[in-house]
Copies of this chain bind each other. A is one copy, B any other.
């Protein structure tokens, strides 16, 4: 099932209404690559329908997050802005270049190990792992380092 249909169904299953605004926002998400943030979605939605408000974008993001259709992350250590991405992909993490802001996604078995280690060492149950890395990507390293 594609993202739009899944979203339609999830929203209706939750007793919600699949409004025109939500349809526009959801379609934009489905057509997005990797990550999107609220403002980005808002600009694009607004271009299609001037009446769409930022509040509606946020409310739609929340509805889909509650439905488990998208996940929220931060990409930078300073956590200045939330980004979202479709849920259900394999667990992965992000590295952001401090210079060109490119994002590299990667998987990390190390985190599973860490998780297990913590569960057995401390008896905790680890629910969520937030990990943001930054530094310089290969290209930016070779063309005049900063920092």
Q: Which residues of chain B are near A134, meaning CB under 8 Å?
A: 126-128
Binary contact readout A102-113 vs B (1 if CB under 8 angstroms, 0 otherwise): 001010101101
Return the contact of A124 from the options B108, B122, B136 (Cβ within 8 A): B136
Q: Which residues of chain B are near A144, meaning CB under 8 Å?
A: none
User: With A130-B132, A131-B129, A133-B118 given, is the CB distance from A123 to B106 under 8 Å?
Assistant: no
> Quick one: closest B residue to A79, CB to CB?
B79
Chain A contact patch, size range: 35 or more
Return the contact of A128 from the options B104, B114, B126, B135 (Cβ within 8 A): B135
B77 x A130 contact (CB < 8 A): yes
A131 x B130 contact (CB < 8 A): yes
Instruction: Report the bound CA distance from A123 to B136 in whole Å.
Output: 9
> Quick one: closest B residue to A104, CB to CB?
B122
